[in-house]
Amino acid sequence: MTDPVVVGVDGSERSLRALIWAANDAALHGCPLLVAHVLPGWEADFPFFPPGRAQGLSRRGAEILAEAVAIAKENHPDLEVESDQVSGSPAEVLRGASERARCVVLGARGEGGLGNLLMGSVSLQVAGHASCPVVVVGAITTGHRRILVGTDGSEHSAAAMEFAFEEASLRNDRVHALHAWSMPATPESSEAGPSVEEAEADHRRQLDAQLAPLRQRYPGVETETTLVRGRAVDELVRASDRADLAVVGSRGKGGFHGLALGSVSHGLLHYGICPVAVVRPRPRHTPTT
């Protein structure tokens, strides 16, 4: 069976936007859509939990799923849509579902302002620990015909670029590859480092080298590049208002390996204007003996 696009729904407006985005993406890829609703497992931890409360939550969850399936089918009548209701921790349930998914799609918390600062903990946890790409949808942006991708030459950004080109090829969008760079700090006692012009030329070579195989593999995808001296997260957030999707690796070259999300992906999830996809390299399978 083809891996599905998994979308988490809770009946809110933000999860409706995630559902619409996920259904569109599943239809583009010709894969099933799995609509998931997670029931809180509170009753197991609280002996005085009202006995009828759990049944009420379950019934409401079934209604949410039925409404979501109907919306997905209305927009895409030929789309294979399944639904599932599970009890437990939403982040853990969705992380588990990511092991058998093409991608997981979630709604962002808040409508801007303070809500934007309080990115939902479920979205952050799933984005940081999922086995597949995670797309967090705040507002659905269309009309730019551009997919923004951040690149720094790392393994994680290579996975992000692969995801961006695949999406662009199906959507007939162009890819905007953005590479932000800065001059390395040079101790006063050391010899002078490269000039600004030399450093910029080196970063340009890195960007072109990372793009070359993808341009060859996806000849129909138009590309534009931005090489800018500055903080990657600031430049990506600024460019996200001219994109329909922003794609970033879960960590970059400067990230600490113990962290689930790097500062760039974390910042873009909080402040990005368009839907944000967080991508990590595919796990390497070691042969068993």
* 185 compared with 281, residue with greater pLDDT: 281
**69-125 per-position pLDDT tens digit:** 999 999 999 999 999 999 998 999 999 999 999 999 999 864 333 333 345 688 989
Sign of CA dihedral 82, 87, 90, 93: negative
Nearest to residue 166, comparing CAs of 27, 29, 275, 17? 29
CB 141 within 8 A of CB 244: yes
**36-73 per-position pLDDT tens digit:** 999 876 554 555 566 666 677 889 999 999 999 999 99
The band of 260, judged by pLDDT with boundaries at 50, 70 and 90, is low
* pLDDT at position 255 over 70: no
| Contacting residues for 17 by C-beta, under 8 A, at least 6 apart | 107, 137, 138, 139, 140
* C-alpha–C-alpha distance, residues 29 and 5, integer Å: 9
Segment of 165-169, 201-205, 268-272 carrying the highest mean pLDDT: 165-169
Tell me, what's the pLDDT at 258?
A: 41
pLDDT (mean) for 212-234: 96
* pLDDT at position 31 over 90: yes
Q: Look-up: residue for tokens 């040079």? A: 186
Nearest to residue 126, comparing CAs of 174, 90, 164? 90
Please tell me the CATH code under which domain 142-280 is placed: 3.40.50.12370
Counting residues of the chain whose pLDDT is more than 90, the rounded percentage is 66
Lowest mean pLDDT among 156-170, 179-193, 265-279: 179-193
126, two tokens = 């799933």
| Contacting residues for 215 by C-beta, under 8 A, at least 6 apart | 221, 223
Strands 81-87 and 174-181: unpaired
* 48 compared with 156, residue with greater pLDDT: 156
Please tell me the CATH code under which domain 1-140 is placed: 3.40.50.620
Nearest to residue 17, comparing CAs of 274, 279, 287? 274
* C-alpha–C-alpha distance, residues 80 and 73, integer Å: 8
85, two tokens = 């209701």
Element (H, E) at 137: strand 134-137
pLDDT (mean) for 211-228: 97
* pLDDT at position 270 over 80: yes
97, two tokens = 């579902």
Domains 1-140 and 142-280 share a fold: yes
User: To the nearest whole number, what is the mean pLDDT of the chain?
Assistant: 86
Tell me, what's the pLDDT at 161?
A: 97
* C-alpha–C-alpha distance, residues 141 and 21, integer Å: 10
* 20 compared with 2, residue with greater pLDDT: 20
Nearest to residue 23, comparing CAs of 70, 76, 65? 76
Element (H, E) at 228: strand 223-229
Q: Parse the chain into domains and list their residue ranges.
A: 1-140, 142-280
The band of 1, judged by pLDDT with boundaries at 50, 70 and 90, is low
Instruction: List b or e across 225-250, with b for residues whose CB sees 16 or more CB atoms inside 10 angstroms.
Output: eebbeeebbebbbebbeebbbbbbbb
Q: Where are the alpha helices (DSSP H) in the chain?
A: 13-29, 51-75, 90-97, 114-117, 121-129, 155-171, 196-217, 232-239, 263-271
Tell me, what's the pLDDT at 112?
A: 38
